Chain A
Amino acid sequence: MSSIAVPTAGDIAGRSTLAGAQRTRYLVGAICIAVIAIMLFPIVMSFLDSIKTRADASASPPGYLPHALGIENYVKVFYFQAGLPTYLFNSLVVAGLTIAFCLVLAVPAGYGLARFRFPGKEAWFLLLLSGMMIPYQALVTPLYLTFTKLGLANTHVGLAIVHTILQLPFSVYLMRHSFEAVPKELEEAGVIDGCGSWQVLWRILMPAVKAGIVTVILFAFITSWNEFLAALIFMNKETQFTIPIWTVSVRTGRLGAVDWGALQASLVIAILPCIAVYVLLQKYYVSGFLAGAVK
């Protein structure tokens, strides 16, 4: 190993004898494994609980591992209230609309800000980013008033608008930087061919900023899928719940006593898409996070 910038096990030991270095290396490895175990414990245990039988999952004191396996908890949450398909549909439609709104608004805005000069450009850019400084928690009340008047309360579009407010600053910021990173020569060829700015954007630049677009989609999905407060307030009809609201209502149940097995099943369902998306698109996720935070 040639890298010096990162601490090697030998460095950690300071004045390192070979045996000492070896020992530190093992120690660091053991700490890593302990950290992994602690981090995964809640999720793994929740999954194990979800495949217990109903009585087993509510046993006190609790057992760590299931005695018998079963899918009754999943069957139960599948039919809970309006049924799982309805809730999945709600969450997916809201997330889909949020993604669409973010792209339709942020891609042209990023292009306009990156490639053109116009009066007050940086001020407009700041206005677009101002959502980062205004907590959306404060906006929920006035938006609720307006949406009730417009008939947007309890609708997918209404909630998607709120999620777009949350996600738009990041999306615009990221798209502007994505377009700025594309070399100008690329579109000059297009301009010579007589393409208008719209055609340049659509035909030449879009493929070049694909990574930025994937990141915008990814973050919009995760935000919308997980968002709780606005969904709690705007979607107060049982048939309009999104997945996070549904998990809370699974806990509350019908009679007040918590059905722990059913709760775990609902949590596994809520978590699974996040983990899948994260594992598949980790590269975009981490780089997006760094781009968003280090500005």
Chain B
Amino acid sequence: MNAVSRRYIGLLYAAPAILFVLVFLVYPLGQLFYTSLTSASLLGGGEFVGFKNYVKAWNDPQFWTSLLFTLKYTLYITPILMGLGFLLALLTAENSPLKKFTRGVLFLPVVIGLATSSLLWFWLFDQQVGLVNQLLVDLHILVRPITWFTEPTLALWAVIASIVWKVVGFGMILFVASIQSIDQEITEAALIDGAGYWQRVRRIMLPLSYRTMLLATLISVIGSMLAFDQFFIMTGGNPRGQTFTSVYWIYQNSFIFFKLGYGATLSIILMVIILVGAAAQIALTRRRATA
């Protein structure tokens, strides 16, 4: 084997994967940007229109409604997921059989499909046959069953409840890992100083889970900004388009109204918002970590 081929043999092994990414990720990304500058339709045709679609987005009230709704959803659900995830990690971090089992059960919905879990909760929140209403009535919290999906705020909270059930185990597992990796000596020293449990949570476990918390927050924010399945299945964007998320509005434009060009524009805008947001979050936390 000569020297040149030896130098590139590793690249050769990676070549199929690289080629795949270039063809199915990088090229479509370029294509997406180009499409965003055209009036392409799902039915074919379309011409170059420059940045007209971007101006159109700026003036599209539903674009803003969807974006604000998505932001609201993200801002509501992320602290709940982080807080509850951390508390559940505190509850189950110990390796006793009951706690291990609790952890296993908490993680179970993570492996179920989002579409499936959304249908499950669509049923549970149904006004007539849903068990959530039945349970709330039986517990005398509600006087009579309510309709969850005809009022945007109630619909939002129903979706949030379903997603918390579905993904809270994800953050929990990360936090359990970070709590379990805390050096025993630190804990022992705190115990000798007479620190109580909650003091150790505040002074040791929480600060040492900081990095994990940032990572989990980033994953949660990106995931929530891209929410689609849960709203498509549970609310259908109703009432009156008030529960369309950004991705849902992209889907609606591209595949229901056949406006691919405009849909591509909305995709680009959303992608830029997410990338800038993620970069800002990483930069901010870097600065705080070094300060």
Contact = CB atoms under 8 A, between A and B. Distances in A.
Interface of A: 3-8, 11-15, 28-29, 31-33, 35-36, 38-40, 42-43, 45-46, 49, 57-62, 64, 101, 104-106, 108-109, 111-113, 115-119, 121, 124, 127-128, 130-131, 133-135, 137-139, 141-143, 145-146, 161, 164-165, 168, 172, 197, 222, 225-229, 232-233, 244-245, 247-248, 251, 260, 263-264, 267, 270-271, 274-275, 277-278, 282, 285-286, 289-290, 293-294
Interface stretch (B51-59, B60-68, B148-156, B182-190): B182-190
A137 B17 contact: no
B99 to A, nearest CB: 6
**Binding site secondary structure of chain A:** helix
Contacts of A109: 13-14, 16-18
A133 B119 contact: no
Contacts of A112: 9-14
Contacts of A277: 111
B151 to A, nearest CB: 20
**Binding site secondary structure of chain B:** helix
Contacts of B94: 3, 6-8
Contacts of A226: 112-116
A45 to B, nearest CB: 6
A215 B187 CA distance: 34
Which of B35, B101, B196, B197 has the most C-beta atoms of chain A within 10 angstroms of its own C-beta?
A: B197
Interface in B130-163: 130-131, 133-134, 137, 145
Nearest to B133: A61
Given A6-B94, A35-B91, A42-B120, A14 B174 contact: no
A267 B91 contact: no
8 contacts: A3-B94, A5-B184, A8-B94, A58-B129, A128-B18, A135-B271, A146-B31, A270-B113
A6 B180 contact: yes
Contact of B119 (A4, A108, A251): A251
Given A14-B196, A115-B10, A248-B233, A60 B114 contact: no
